[in-house]
Amino acid sequence: KPYSCTVCNMCFSKTSALIRHSLVHSGEKPYSCNMCNKRFTQKSNLKNHHLLHSGEKPYSCSTCNMCFTRKNQLNTHNIVHTGEKPYSCSVCNMCFSEKSVLNRHKLVHTGEKPFSCNVCNKTFNWKNGLTAHLNVHAGEKPFSCDLCDKQFYRKNSLNRHVLTHSSENPHVCDICHKSFKLKGFLTAHKRLHVDKKSFSCNLCDKSYSKKSLLDYHISIHKDVKPYTCNICNKSFNWIVSLTNHSSRHHIEKAHTCSICNKNFLSYSLLKS
């Protein structure tokens, strides 16, 4: 990809692709809708927009017969049926269904945030993140469901919503075979099948119900004692241990036995 953007260093195989991309940074939108005057950076986006006015949905899913105004909407929808994620991140091996999503994900590893809000200067890894953010400033929800007219700030929120209109539940639990429309719902459901002590130590196979308890347990293996008494410098694995130590050794024992003069931390201990 010999053609590189001078602003964000993204590379392209053709000069025409680089020129189209440069409009993202310049903010120029040369293509205008003659029905609502909405403007677009690319002619193809304007063409897709015209379908919203006509109500035409020429792209139909061969599996469930859902129809879409844009071909890329159909392509995204088809992945729901196949579950395919062919694009893999070379850094963390996460897989994605779309190459564009992989490219956006890579910015997480580089820390690059090339897209900046001209209202509050907040920066974003991805252009659609900035676009959605600007919509919040403007109070606009430009992504509208063709089936119920519900509107959204983000396109991915619309895509998730569209699935609620489908009768299909493509995400199936491999334990009880219950099915769900969204993968997130399946993930939450699977936690119900997991043993209560789902956090296991990889050093001794001991299990815990909370990650915080596992972290404490691992610190014992590693002999990490991050909590230090500021009076005697004794260190502890856990803050509760430090608190107990301080109350036993460094706080005045105010409850005194009138018979033997022995001191106690609490009245209940004195009474016993």
DSSP-based three-state secondary structure for 238: coil
Question: Is 49 in the same domain as 63?
Answer: no
126 assigned to some structural domain: no
Other beta carbons within 10 angstroms of residue 56's beta carbon come to 11
Domain-located, residue 216:
no
Pairing of strands 59-60, 263-264: unpaired
Lowest-pLDDT choice from 32-46, 168-182, 184-198: 184-198
Q: Do 117 and 130 contact (CB within 8 A), yes or no? A: yes
Q: How far is CA 177 from CA 169, 174, 198, 223, in A?
A: 11, 5, 21, 44
- Nearest-angstrom CA–CA distance, 12 and 218: 47
The predicted pLDDT at position 38 comes to 86
Of 9-13, 92-96, 255-259, the least confident: 255-259
Q: Which domain holds residue 23?
A: 3-54
Asked if residue 143 belongs to a domain, the reply is no
Residue that finishes a domain, picked among 91, 110, 129: 110
Q: What is the CATH number of the domain that holds 7?
A: 3.30.160.60
- 37 burial level (CB within 10 Å; 0-12, 13-18, 19+): exposed
Say yes or no: 96 and 63 in one domain: yes
The answer on 45 and 70 residing in a single domain is no
Above 60 in pLDDT, residue 265?
Answer: no
**Residue 144 DSSP class:** E
Q: If pLDDT is split at 50, 70 and 90, which confidence band does 166 have?
A: confident
Q: Do 173 and 186 meet the contact criterion of CB atoms below 8 Å apart?
A: yes
Q: Residues 113-154: pLDDT tens digits?
A: 888 888 888 888 777 788 888 877 777 777 888 878 788 877
252 lies in a domain?
A: yes
**What are the percentages of helix, strand and coil residues in the chain, rounded to 5?**
40, 15, 45
**The pLDDT of residue 254 is above 70:** no
Residue 184 φ then ψ, to 5° = -60, -35
Asked if 63 and 98 sit in the same domain, the reply is yes
CA gap 241, 145 in Å, rounded: 55
**C-alpha span between 159 and 73 (Å, rounded):** 8
What residue type is assigned to position 157 of the chain?
Answer: S
Mean pLDDT score of the chain? 78
Q: Evaluate whether residue 97 is within a structural domain.
A: yes
Number of domains in the chain: 3
What would the two tokens of residue 191 be?
A: 């936690």
Supply the pLDDT for residue 266.
57
pLDDT band, very low/low/confident/very high, at 194 (cuts 50, 70, 90): low
Is residue 118 assigned to a domain? no
**Kind plus residue range of the DSSP H or E element containing 2:** none
Rounded CA-CA distance 161/149 in Å is: 11
- Confidence at 264, pLDDT banded by 50, 70, 90: low
What pLDDT was estimated at residue 43?
A: 83
Q: Could you report the per-residue pLDDT of 35-91, keeping only the tens digit for each?
A: 888 888 788 888 878 887 887 888 888 888 788 888 888 887 887 777 778 888 888
Beta bridge partners of 60: 67
Greatest C-alpha distance within the chain: 98
Contact 227, 238 (CB under 8 A): yes
Between these two residues, 231 and 122, which has the higher pLDDT value?
Answer: 122
- Sort 227 into a burial class: Cβ within 10 Å, 0-12 / 13-18 / 19+: middle
Residue 79 maps to a domain: yes
- 16/48 same-domain check: yes
The reply to whether 95 falls in a domain is: yes
pLDDT band at 230 (very low <50, low <70, confident <90, very high): confident
Query: Of 87-91, 180-184, 266-270, which has the strongest mean pLDDT?
Result: 87-91
Same domain, 44 and 63: no
- Same domain, yes or no: 63 and 106: yes
